[in-house]
Amino acid sequence: MQAIKITDHVYWVGAIDWALKEFHGYTTHRGSTYNAFLILADKITLIDTVKAPFKQEMYERIRSVIGDETKVDILVSNHAEMDHSGALPEVIRDLKPEKIYASPMGIKALDAHFGIGSLLTAVKTGESISLGNMTLSAVETRMLHWPDSMFTYLAEEKVLFSQDGFGMHFATDKIFAVDNDWHVMLEEMKRYYANILLPYSPQVLNLLKVFPTLNLDVQTICPDHGPVWNGELLLKPLELYKAFAEQQYVPRAIVLYDTMWHSTEKMALHIADGIRQAGADVRVFALDAATRSDVAAELLDASALVAGSPTINNDMYPRTADVLTYLRGLRPKNMLGAAFGSYGWSGESVAKINAYLTDMKAELVSDGLKIQYVPKDADLEKCEDFGREIGARLLEKCHLTQPGKL
Ligand code: FEO
Give the residue among 233, 169, 231, 173 at the shortest CA–CA distance from 197: 169
Query: pLDDT of 40-55, one tens digit each?
Result: 999 999 999 999 999 9
Q: Residue of the nearest CA to atom 1 in ligand 1?
A: 164
Query: pLDDT of 347-404, one tens digit each?
Result: 999 999 999 999 999 999 999 999 999 999 999 999 999 999 999 999 999 987 655 5
Answer whether 164 contacts ligand 1 (Cβ < 6 A): yes
What is the predicted pLDDT for the residue at 47? 98
Query: pLDDT of 146-186, one tens digit each?
Result: 999 999 999 999 999 999 999 999 999 999 999 999 999 99
Q: Which ligand 1 atom is the nearest neighbour of the CA of 146?
A: 2
Instruction: With beta carbons less than 8 A apart as the criterion, state whether 204 and 189 touch.
Output: no
What is the predicted pLDDT for the residue at 401? 60
- Measure CA of the first residue to CA of the last residue in the chain; give whole Å: 44
How many other C-beta atoms can be found within 10 angstroms of the C-beta atom of residue 93? 8
Q: How far is the CA of 400 from the centre of ligand 1 (A)?
A: 39
Angle at CA of residue 229, ends 223 and 232, nearest 5°? 165
What is the share, in percent, of the chain residues with pLDDT greater than 70?
Answer: 99
Instruction: With beta carbons less than 8 A apart as the criterion, state whether 234 and 221 touch.
Output: yes
Answer whether 48 contacts ligand 1 (Cβ < 6 A): no
Residue from 9, 84, 169, 225 carrying the catalytic annotation: 225
Query: pLDDT of 91-130, one tens digit each?
Result: 999 999 999 999 999 999 999 999 999 999 999 999 999 9
Query: pLDDT of 245-289, one tens digit each?
Result: 999 999 999 999 999 999 999 999 999 999 999 999 999 999 999
- Residues 79 and 148: their CA atoms lie apart, in Å, by 6
Instruction: With beta carbons less than 8 A apart as the criterion, state whether 110 and 102 touch.
Output: yes
Answer whether 51 contacts ligand 1 (Cβ < 6 A): no
Q: How far is the CA of 196 from the centre of ligand 1 (A)?
A: 9
**Is 301 among the residues known to form the active site?**
no
What is the predicted pLDDT for the residue at 400? 78
- Residues 383 and 380: their CA atoms lie apart, in Å, by 5
**Is 225 among the residues known to form the active site?**
yes
pTM: 0.96
Q: Sort residue 393 into left (φ over 0), alpha (ψ -120 to 50) or beta.
A: alpha
344 has pLDDT over 60: yes
Give the CA distances from residue 276 to residues 29, 84, 260, 320, 390, in Å, rounded to whole numbers and listed in that order: 29, 44, 25, 23, 10
